[in-house]
């Protein structure tokens, strides 16, 4: 059983393409509770070598300069000119401010990509941070928390939860602190102890966008889109609850996020807000 699987080990739909890649060990591999999701191939090729073959460079001829006899502080060349096309990047949020400490955060449903966002890696997955929405706290193990009590705060809490629960080094801590108490969390913790995912087998996609399916002050349903390759984007709703003055994930009684809900393979991102790291 995986965090995103709808059954615990049934074989009746063997080659069902709509759930296969979620049931392999990848997207949430760290949450092995979950027997989790391996993706057959890493998505994006971030870099490739496009450098032409190196050519031998001519040997420089040394230039002899007559000494002037006195040092000078004058620059030897023209002053540097700022590049007008460069765009300053947002600085990472300052821990201890913003997030759940934000007084009266905006309650509008986000319809466009949030601004003032930085992206950081958790294992091999990029996740977003914002000063106002959070996270504003991080414990000694690296688990992040403290999100704004708002729809946007719930969105950021969902992204961070999924990225960190995927990291086998953090899975146990995330289950203990970032999942709401209940039978689902108990089942997930028990299964994680029995079947931890090897760290060298954790692979997955990258976040591509989100949709706020439903929002109430004490509960939010956020659908997160994940791109696995140029043609494969999967999405699944995740329930978040406001408890202990923060947003936390809520698991079904079987220890999964989705229970009987099947992940969707998206034909387009039309109803989603595009949101991804560079």
Q: Given a cut of 60, is residue 121 above it in pLDDT? A: yes
pLDDT value of position 231: 87
pLDDT class of 40 with cuts at 50, 70, 90: very low
Q: Given a cut of 90, is residue 183 above it in pLDDT? A: yes
In a domain, 85, yes or no: no
In a domain, 254, yes or no: yes
* Closest C-alpha to 255, from 146, 165, 182, 161: 182
How many domains does the chain fold into?
1
> What is the extent of the structural domain holding 242?
90-180+205-274
Mean pLDDT in residue range 202-207: 75
* Closest C-alpha to 187, from 271, 116, 253: 253
Mean pLDDT in residue range 109-123: 96
Mean pLDDT in residue range 253-266: 87
Parallel, antiparallel, or unpaired for β 144-145 and 206-216?
A: unpaired
pLDDT class of 88 with cuts at 50, 70, 90: low
Q: Which residue has the higher pLDDT, 136 or 81?
A: 136
Contact 125, 166 (CB under 8 A): yes
pLDDT class of 92 with cuts at 50, 70, 90: confident
Q: Given a cut of 90, is residue 107 above it in pLDDT? A: yes
Distance of CA 229 to the CA centre of its chain: 16
pLDDT value of position 236: 87
In a domain, 107, yes or no: yes
Q: Which residue has the higher pLDDT, 198 or 146?
A: 146
In a domain, 250, yes or no: yes
In a domain, 54, yes or no: no
Specify the length of the chain in residues. Answer: 278
Mean pLDDT in residue range 241-264: 92
> Whole-prediction pTM value?
0.72
Q: What is the mean pLDDT of the chain?
A: 76
CA distance 164 to 127: 9
Contact 211, 222 (CB under 8 A): yes
Mean pLDDT in residue range 124-141: 96
In a domain, 260, yes or no: yes
Parallel, antiparallel, or unpaired for β 273-274 and 219-227?
A: unpaired
Mean pLDDT in residue range 152-166: 97
CA distance 250 to 246: 12
In a domain, 4, yes or no: no
In a domain, 150, yes or no: yes
Q: Given a cut of 80, is residue 49 above it in pLDDT? A: no
* Phi, psi angle pair for 241, to nearest 5°: -125, 145
């Amino acid at each position: 059983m995986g965090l995103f699987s709808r059954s615990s080990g049934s074989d009746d739909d063997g080659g069902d393409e709509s759930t296969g890649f979620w049931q392999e060990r990848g997207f949430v591999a760290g949450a092995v509770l979950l027997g989790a999701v391996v993706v057959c191939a890493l998505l994006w090729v971030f870099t490739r070598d496009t450098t032409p073959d190196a050519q031998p460079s001519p040997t420089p001829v040394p230039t002899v300069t007559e000494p002037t006899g006195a040092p000078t502080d004058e620059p030897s060349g023209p002053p540097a000119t700022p590049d007008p096309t460069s765009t300053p990047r947002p600085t990472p949020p300052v821990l201890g401010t913003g997030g759940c400490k934000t007084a009266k955060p905006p309650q509008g449903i986000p319809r466009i990509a949030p601004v003032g966002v930085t992206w950081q890696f958790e294992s091999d997955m990029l996740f977003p941070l914002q000063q106002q929405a959070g996270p504003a706290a991080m414990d000694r193990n690296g688990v992040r928390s403290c999100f704004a009590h708002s729809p946007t705060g719930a969105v950021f809490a969902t992204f961070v939860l999924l990225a960190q629960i995927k990291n086998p080094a953090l899975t146990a801590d995330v289950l203990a602190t970032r999942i709401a108490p209940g039978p689902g969390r108990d089942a997930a913790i028990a299964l994680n102890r029995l079947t931890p995912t090897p760290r060298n087998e954790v692979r997955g996609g990258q976040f591509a966008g989100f949709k706020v399916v439903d929002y109430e002050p004490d509960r939010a349903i956020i659908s997160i889109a994940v791109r696995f390759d140029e043609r494969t984007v999967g999405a699944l709703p995740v329930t978040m609850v406001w408890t202990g003055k923060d947003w936390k994930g809520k698991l079904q009684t079987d220890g999964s996020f989705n229970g009987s809900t099947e992940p969707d393979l998206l034909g387009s991102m039309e109803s989603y807000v595009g949101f991804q790291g560079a």
